[in-house]
C-alpha cells in the first residue's frame, strides 16, 4: 500500500476531561457499542491502509484491551498491521510529549521502517466516514507538500476551533478563534497527508530547531514556502470538542440519514463481544433509540443510547440520555439529558435531570 497510518489516541484528552480522566480519548465509548478510535481506524482499513501506528501516552490500558492485536480490523499481520507506539522520552527531553510534533519525535524508528511513500495522520476526535484514498489522490494531483482536511460548518457561540483560511485550494492562514453563533468557518479536521520522506525531514529538523507544535511551528511558518493544500470533507463529521459536543454527536446518530451515512454498509469495525440479545419486559416502551445487546428493558426509553448490559427497571423513564455499559437503573426513576459512565447504579425513585444545553455527567462506578 502507498500510505502508512498514524493515529494520535490522546491529543485532545483535555477537551473531554470528564470522560478522559480514566481512559485515553481514543477509547471513549461512543454510539452504543463503539470507541472513538474505531472511526479513524476503520477509515484507514477501508482505504486499504494495512500498517497503522497508534500513538499512546497515558491511561491507555482500556485502549490496549479494545484494539488488542488488531484482528477485528484485519490488522493482525506478520508484516505491518496494527502497532501500538507507547510513550517514551527522547534524547534532549526525558519527559513525555505534550504536542503532536513531540510525539512524532518518539516514533522516527517506526517511520524509518515503513515502506510506504505517504503518511496519513489523524486524531480520534472526529466521528465520520472518510476515504483517505481520495485525499491522497488529490494530494498527488495538486503536487502538494502537505494536505490538511477541513469541514466547513457553522460554529456555536463561544466555540473555540482551529480554522483554515483557504483561497482556491491553497491554505493561506491558520488560526484559533472563538466563534460567534451562526458563523461559518473552515474547521480543521486534524487529518494530514504528506510524503513520509518530508515528515521525517520535518521531525528531524524540528529536533535541532527545538520546535514543538506541528501546526504553529511547521504549517503556519511555511504557508508561503510549501504548497499546503486544503481538502474539504463534505460528508457528516462530528467533532468531539467538549462534553456537550460528545452528547450532541451521540444523539445525532438517532437521525436515520446520519446513521446510514456512518454505519450503512457495516464497515465501521469494533471489538466483537458475544452478548445475549436485549430482553424487553411486558411494560417496556422504546422510541427512537439505539439499544446494544445484553440489555434488560422493563421501563421506557426515548431518544437515548444504551450500551451493552444496561438494566432499566420497571416504571423508569430514560429520555435524551446516554447510558454506558453495565449501568443499573432501579425502578420508578427518571433520567433526562444524562450521561452515565460505565457501571453506574441509580437506586429506586431517583430523579436526575440535566438539559439539552447542559447534560449532567455521572462518573464511572458511582452509585446514586
**What 3-state DSSP class applies to 257?**
helix
DSSP string across 308-324? TT-EE-TT-EEES-EE-
Predicted pLDDT at 93: 47
Nearest partner of 292 among 319, 268, 258, 326, judged by Cα: 326
* Torsion of the alpha carbons at 43, 213, 66 and 75, rounded to the nearest 10: 50
Q: Dihedral sign, CA of 229, 230, 232, 233?
A: positive
pLDDT at 333: 97
- Specify the pLDDT at position 18: 92
Q: pTM of the entire structure?
A: 0.93
- Kind and range of the H or E run holding 200: helix 196-209
pLDDT tens for each residue of 27-59: 999 999 999 999 999 999 999 999 999 998 877
Name residues of the chain where pLDDT drops below 50. Answer: 91-94
Span 74-84, pLDDT tens digits: 998 888 899 99
Cell reading at 62: 482500556
What are the backbone dihedrals phi and psi of residue 195, each rounded to the nearest 5 degrees, phi first? -70, 145
Q: How many CA atoms lie within 13 A of 185 on its CB side?
A: 24
DSSP β-ladder status, 279-280 and 228-232: unpaired
Sequence-ordered strand ranges (E) for 31-156: 34-35, 51-55, 81-85, 118-123, 126-128, 146-154
Output the pLDDT for position 179. 64
Predicted local distance difference test score (pLDDT) of residue 212:
82
Amino acid at each position: 500500500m502507498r500510505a502508512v497510518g498514524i493515529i494520535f489516541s490522546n491529543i485532545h484528552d483535555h477537551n473531554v476531561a470528564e470522560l478522559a480522566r480514566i481512559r485515553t480519548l481514543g477509547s471513549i465509548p461512543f454510539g452504543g457499542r463503539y470507541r472513538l478510535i474505531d472511526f479513524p481506524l476503520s477509515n484507514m482499513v477501508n482505504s486499504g491502509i494495512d500498517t497503522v501506528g497508534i500513538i499512546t501516552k497515558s491511561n491507555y490500558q482500556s485502549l490496549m484491551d479494545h484494539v488488542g492485536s488488531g484482528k477485528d480490523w484485519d490488522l493482525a499481520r506478520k508484516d505491518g498491521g496494527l502497532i501500538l507506539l507507547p510513550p517514551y522520552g527522547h534524547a534532549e527531553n526525558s519527559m513525555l510529549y505534550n504536542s503532536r510534533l513531540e510525539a512524532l519525535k518518539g516514533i522516527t524508528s517506526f517511520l524509518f521502517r515503513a515502506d510506504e511513500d505517504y503518511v496519513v495522520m489523524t486524531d480520534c476526535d472526529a466521528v465520520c466516514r472518510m476515504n483517505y484514498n481520495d485525499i491522497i489522490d488529490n494530494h498527488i494531483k495538486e503536487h502538494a507538500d502537505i494536505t490538511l482536511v477541513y469541514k466547513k460548518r457553522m460554529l456555536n457561540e463561544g466555540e473555540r476551533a482551529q480554522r483554515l483560511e483557504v483561497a482556491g485550494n491553497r491554505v493561506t492562514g491558520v488560526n484559533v478563534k472563538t466563534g460567534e453563533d451562526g458563523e461559518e468557518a473552515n474547521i480543521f479536521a486534524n487529518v494530514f497527508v504528506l510524503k513520509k520522506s518530508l515528515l521525517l525531514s520535518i521531525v528531524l529538523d524540528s529536533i535541532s530547531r527545538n520546535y514543538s507544535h506541528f501546526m504553529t511551528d511547521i504549517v503556519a511558518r511555511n504557508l508561503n514556502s510549501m504548497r499546503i493544500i486544503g481538502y474539504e470533507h463534505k460528508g457528516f463529521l462530528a467533532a468531539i470538542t467538549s462534553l456537550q459536543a460528545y452528547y450532541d454527536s451521540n444523539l445525532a446518530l438517532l437521525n436515520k440519514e446520519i446513521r446510514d451515512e456512518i454505519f450503512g454498509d457495516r464497515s465501521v469495525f469494533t471489538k466483537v463481544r458475544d452478548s445475549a440479545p436485549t430482553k424487553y419486559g411486558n411494560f417496556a416502551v422504546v422510541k427512537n433509540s439505539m439499544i446494544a445487546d445484553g440489555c434488560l428493558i422493563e421501563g421506557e426509553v426515548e431518544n437515548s443510547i444504551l450500551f451493552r448490559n444496561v438494566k432499566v427497571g420497571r416504571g423508569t423513564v430514560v429520555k435524551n440520555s446516554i447510558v454506558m455499559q453495565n449501568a443499573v437503573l432501579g425502578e420508578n426513576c427518571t433520567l433526562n439529558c444524562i450521561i452515565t459512565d460505565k457501571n453506574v447504579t441509580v437506586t429506586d425513585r431517583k430523579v436526575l435531570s440535566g438539559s439539552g444545553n447542559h447534560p449532567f455527567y455521572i462518573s464511572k462506578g458511582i452509585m446514586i
